[in-house]
C-alpha cells in the first residue's frame, strides 16, 4: 500500500549496520510531531542510539534549512523527512541534502515534482492516495519501521505495534485524513491495544479514539504550534533522554494553559470580526487585529482556527487573510470538505489538504482572489451533499471537457473511457446502492473518482462506457 517502503527499510538497515548517524525531522504540525515521536519510539525499540532529532525552532511547512546545518556539523549519513519534502518549494533543499546524506521522504502528500528522479532520495507515499484520505505522514513513517521489524528483526511485530502505533493513529484523526478503508480500520483495531505514552498520562481515562484525538490530544499540541512554544514539544516528544514524570506533568499543564488562551482569542475574534461574502465564499481580513492586545505571531498562526469556526457557524467555505507587510498569509477551511485547494492552486501559492490549507498572496493578489471566488459556484448543500462530504470533491458548474492522452477517445463531442469493473472500488453493495444513492462512486486506477447516476449503472455490465465531464485540475469528476 506504500511505494518504496522496502527500499526505505533497507536503507535504514544498512545505516544501522554501519553505525551511521541518522537524523529525523517532521513537519511543524501535529502530524509531523507524531511522525518524529514515532521515529524516536522505533530507534528506542531497536536499541539504536546513534540517531538525532531536529528540534523545532521556527514554524514552517517546508523543509527547514536548519537540517542542512545539523547534518553537516553532526556528520549525518541518513535523513528521514516526515510529512514534508514533497512540495515544489522543497526541491532545492532536498537536492542540497541529498549531496551529503541519503534521504527518505515519508510523506502522504502527492509530490509536486519528480522526487523519484533525484539521486540518493527514496520517496515513500501511499499508493491508494486520494485527497489525503487514509494515511497521515506519521502513518507513512510508521509503515517503514514496521516493514523493518518484519524483515530484519526477530522480535514480535505485535509487540512493536503495541508500543508504537499510538502516535500514527492519533495523527490520522488530528490531520483529518481518516477514511472508510481497510487501512484505517486496521489502524483503529491496532490502536485499541496500544500503550499510551507516559507523557500523556493525564489522559489515562480515555482510550485511543477519534474523540481522544480531536478533543484531548491534538488541541494542546496545536496550541503549542500556534503560540510558537516549541520547547514543550521538543522536551515532551523529541527528547532522547527520558524526563521525570513531574517535568512531564509541568509541560502538560503549560500545554493546557496555551490551549485555553488560544481558544479565548479565537472565540473573541470570531464573535467580533466583520467579513465579506462573495457568492458561496466568505473572505475575512484579520489585519485590523494586528498590534493590539494579541501578539502578532499568535494572530498569524490562529487565522486557520478563525476560518474553521466561521465555516462551522456559517456552513460555507471561509478564507481568512492577514497582512505581513509585503504579502498576505492565507488560511482556508471548507465546511463541506470540498476540494478548494485545486481551485486556487492555478492562481496562488497554496498547499495542504484539499479543504483545509494555507498559503500566501502578494499584496496585489487580493483583487484577483475576489475575482476567482466570485466566478465559482460550489455544490455542497444539495441532494449530493452526503457524497460530497464523504469524498471531498469540488464540483463547479462550469465543467470543461478535457481529454487525457492515451486514455480517452472522442465520441459525439464527449470524451469516453471503457473501464473494466475489476478496476473499481465500490463502497456499497449493488443491492443497497440503488436504494440509497443517486450516483455511484467509482475509483479509477489513477485514483480519480467517477460518479455515475443510477440510471446509467448496472451490475450486469462487464465494463462501462463513461462520458466524463472533467474539471481542469480537480481530483473529483462528476458524470451527468
Q: Report yes or no: 260 and 254 within 8 Å, Cβ to Cβ.
A: no
Q: Could you tell me the pTM of the whole model?
A: 0.72
pLDDT score at 202: 56
CATH assignment of 5-241? 3.90.1640.30
Q: Cβ atoms within 10 A of the Cβ of 315, count?
A: 12
What is the per-residue pLDDT for 414? 40
206: phi then psi, degrees, rounded to nearest 5: -110, 165
Report pLDDT for 380.
Answer: 41
Report the range of poorest mean pLDDT among 53-67, 84-98, 341-355, 451-465.
451-465
Give the list of residues 6+ apart from residue 44 with CB closer than 8 angstroms, or none. none
How far, in Å, CA of 399 to CA of 391, rounded? 19
Please calculate the CA angle 70-302-306 and round it to the nearest 5 degrees. Answer: 150
Q: Which residues on adjacent β-strands are paired with residue 411?
A: 414
| pLDDT at residue 462 tops 60 | no
Q: Is the pLDDT of residue 82 over 80?
A: yes
Q: How far apart are CA 317 and CA 334, in angstroms?
A: 4
Alpha carbon distance 420, 437 (integer Å): 22
The residue behind cell 469540488 is 394
CB 63 within 8 A of CB 93: yes
Spans of all domains in the chain: 5-241, 273-381, 409-468
Phi, psi torsion values for 333, nearest 5 degrees: -140, 130
On average, the pLDDT of the chain sits at 76
Summarize pLDDT for 174-207 with one digit per residue, the tens: 887 777 677 888 888 898 888 877 666 555 545 6
Position 12 scores a pLDDT of 97
- CATH domain 273-381 topology: Diaminopimelate Epimerase; Chain A, domain 1 (3.10.310)
Element housing 322 (H / E): strand 317-323
DSSP 397-448: SS------TTT-EEETTEEEEEEEGGG---SS-HHHHHHH-SEEEEE-TTS-
pLDDT band at 99; cut points 50, 70, 90: very high
| Phi, then psi, of 106 in degrees rounded to 5 | -105, 95
Segment holding 102, helix H or strand E: strand 102-106
Q: Could you give the CA distance from residue 444 to residue 6 in angstroms, rounded to a whole number?
A: 25
Given a contact cutoff of 8 angstroms between Cβ atoms, the answer to whether 141 and 80 are in contact is yes
Which run of H or E residues covers position 467?
strand 463-468
Judge residue 321's burial from the number of C-beta atoms within 10 Å of its C-beta, 0-12 exposed, 13-18 middle, 19 or more buried.
buried
User: What pLDDT score was predicted for residue 199?
Assistant: 63
pLDDT in tens, 213-240: 888 888 899 889 888 899 999 998 998 8
Q: What is the DSSP letter of 99?
A: T
Helix, strand, or coil (residue 330) = strand
DSSP code, position 213: I
Give me the pLDDT at residue 33, please: 95
Confidence at residue 66, expressed as pLDDT on a 0 to 100 scale? 82
H-helix segments, 240-295: 245-272
Determine how many CB atoms are found less than 10 A away from the CB of residue 211.
Answer: 12
How far is Cα 211 from Cα 174, in angstroms, rounded to an integer?
10
What are the helix (H) ranges across 206-302? 210-211, 218-226, 230-233, 245-272, 296-301
Average the pLDDT over 307-318 and give the result.
91
* Strand pairing report for 317-323 and 281-285: parallel
By mean pLDDT, which of 21-25, 85-89, 230-234, 237-241 is the weakest?
85-89
Amino acid at each position: 500500500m506504500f511505494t518504496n517502503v522496502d527500499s526505505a527499510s533497507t536503507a535504514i538497515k544498512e545505516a544501522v549496520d554501519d553505525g551511521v548517524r541518522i537524523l529525523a525531522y517532521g513537519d511543524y504540525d501535529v502530524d509531523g510531531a507524531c511522525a518524529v515521536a514515532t521515529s524516536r519510539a522505533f530507534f528506542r525499540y531497536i536499541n539504536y542510539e546513534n540517531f538525532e532529532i531536529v528540534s523545532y525552532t521556527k514554524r514552517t511547512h517546508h523543509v527547514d534549512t536548519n537540517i542542512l546545518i545539523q547534518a553537516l556539523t553532526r556528520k549525518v549519513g541518513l535523513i528521514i523527512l516526515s510529512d514534508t519534502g514533497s512540495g515544489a518549494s522543497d526541491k532545492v533543499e532536498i537536492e542540497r541534502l541529498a549531496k551529503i546524506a541519503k534521504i527518505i521522504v515519508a510523506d502522504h502528500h502527492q509530490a509536486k515534482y519528480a522526487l523519484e528522479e533525484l539521486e540518493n532520495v527514496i520517496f515513500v507515499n501511499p499508493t491508494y492516495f486520494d485527497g489525503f484520505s487514509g494515511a497521515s505522514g506519521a502513518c507513512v513513517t510508521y509503515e517503514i519501521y514496521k516493514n523493518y521489524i518484519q524483515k530484519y528483526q526477530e522480535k514480535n511485530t505485535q509487540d512493536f505495534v503495541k508500543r508504537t502505533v499510538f502516535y500514527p493513529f492519533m495523527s490520522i484523526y488530528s490531520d483529518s485524513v481518516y477514511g472508510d478503508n481497510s487501512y484505517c480500520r486496521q489502524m483503529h483495531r491496532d490502536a485499541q491495544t496500544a500503550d499510551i505514552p507516559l507523557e500523556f498520562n493525564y489522559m489515562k481515562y480515555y482510550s485511543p479514539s477519534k474523540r481522544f484525538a480531536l478533543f484531548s490530544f491534538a488541541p494542546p499540541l496545536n496550541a503549542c504550534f500556534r503560540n510558537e512554544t516549541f520547547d514543550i514539544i521538543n522536551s515532551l516528544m523529541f527528547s532522547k533522554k527520558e524526563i521525570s514524570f513531574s517535568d512531564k506533568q509541568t509541560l502538560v499543564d503549560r500545554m493546557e494553559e496555551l490551549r485555553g488562551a488560544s481558544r479565548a482569542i479565537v472565540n473573541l475574534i470570531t464573535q467580533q470580526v466583520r467579513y465579506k461574502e462573495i457568492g458561496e465564499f466568505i473572505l475575512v481580513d484579520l489585519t485590523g487585529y494586528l498590534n493590539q492586545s494579541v501578539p502578532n505571531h499568535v494572530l498569524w498562526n490562529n487565522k486557520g482556527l478563525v476560518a474553521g469556526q466561521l465555516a462551522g457557524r456559517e456552513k460555507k467555505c471561509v478564507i481568512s487573510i492577514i497582512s505581513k507587510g509585503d504579502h498576505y498569509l492565507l488560511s482556508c477551511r471548507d465546511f463541506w470538505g470540498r476540494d478548494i485547494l485545486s481551485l486556487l492552486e492555478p492562481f496562488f501559492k497554496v498547499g495542504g489538504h484539499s479543504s483545509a490549507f494555507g498559503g500566501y498572496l502578494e499584496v496585489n493578489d487580493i483583487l484577483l482572489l475576489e475575482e476567482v471566488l466570485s466566478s465559482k459556484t460550489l455544490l455542497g448543500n444539495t441532494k449530493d451533499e452526503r457524497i460530497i462530504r464523504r469524498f471531498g470533491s469540488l464540483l463547479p458548474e462550469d465543467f470543461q471537457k478535457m481529454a487525457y492522452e492515451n486514455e480517452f477517445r472522442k465520441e459525439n463531442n464527449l470524451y469516453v473511457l471503457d473501464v473494466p469493473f475489476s478496476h473499481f472500488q465500490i463502497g456499497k453493495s449493488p443491492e443497497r446502492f440503488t436504494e440509497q444513492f443517486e450516483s455511484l462512486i467509482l475509483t479509477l486506477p489513477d485514483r480519480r473518482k467517477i460518479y455515475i447516476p443510477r440510471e446509467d449503472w448496472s451490475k450486469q455490465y462487464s465494463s462501462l462506457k463513461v462520458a466524463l465531464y472533467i474539471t481542469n485540475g480537480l481530483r473529483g469528476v462528476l458524470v451527468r
